[in-house]
Amino acid sequence: MNQYPITGQRIRAFAASHLLLPLMACITCLPGKTQAVTGIVTDYGGFWKTSTSSVNPVKPDNSHNLLAFTWNGTQYATGANNPLLTARGESFVNSDWWSMNIFSYTGSLTDALIALGQMYDGVDNGASVPPPSNANFTDYLRDGIKGLDLGTGISNLPANNSFTFYAHSLNVARIG
């Protein structure tokens, strides 16, 4: 784990495998549903697939985009790279998934940690000089194709922080 000191903020790089669990946990929080996400496909190393029944021993250590996920026995493409899924013989339901844009946030970022894959900075098991940084920490929540990069994230935010998300073009009939 690498720690990058920045005034008013601490940044640490975690193994990307630690970033997959929060994603899978978040996707499973669908109201009224009891099925969990049981598999994901990303573009790590060109193509990377893992599931609860066939765990991939390779642990992603850098940015990689969510291409598809399996929920309730059906694999849904995110639209990030459907031609790659087709070329690899994956069957999927075509869908269009994006990260939610954060419009604004309030609260303290003093203890916030930016989570990065181990090789995000190109240095194996060590800190790069200068450390990776970004002018706006929310960029780490919406980077990658369609905002679906699994190799970055934010952790250790105080419970009293407030986030406002921008949503448009909602189809209310499809909610629930």
- What is the pLDDT tens value at each position of the chain, 176 positions in all? 333 333 333 333 333 444 444 444 444 444 455 679 999 999 999 999 999 999 999 999 999 999 999 999 999 999 999 999 999 999 999 999 998 888 788 888 788 888 888 898 888 888 888 777 665 777 888 899 999 999 988 888 888 888 888 777 778 887 76
For the chain, counts of helices (H) and of strands (E)? 2, 10
The dihedral through the CA atoms of 112, 45, 51, 59 has a sign that is negative
CA nearest 12: which of 100, 102, 84, 114?
A: 114
Enumerate the β-bridge partners of residue 105: 163
- Report residue 22: phi and psi, to 5°: -60, -40
CA distance 24 to 22: 5
CA distance 36 to 70: 9
Question: Which tens digits make up the pLDDT trace of 104-143?
Answer: 888 887 888 888 888 988 888 888 887 776 657 778 888 9
Query: What stretches of 3-62 show up as alpha helix (H) in DSSP?
Result: 17-27
CA distance 134 to 37: 31
Can you give the pLDDT at residue 2?
36
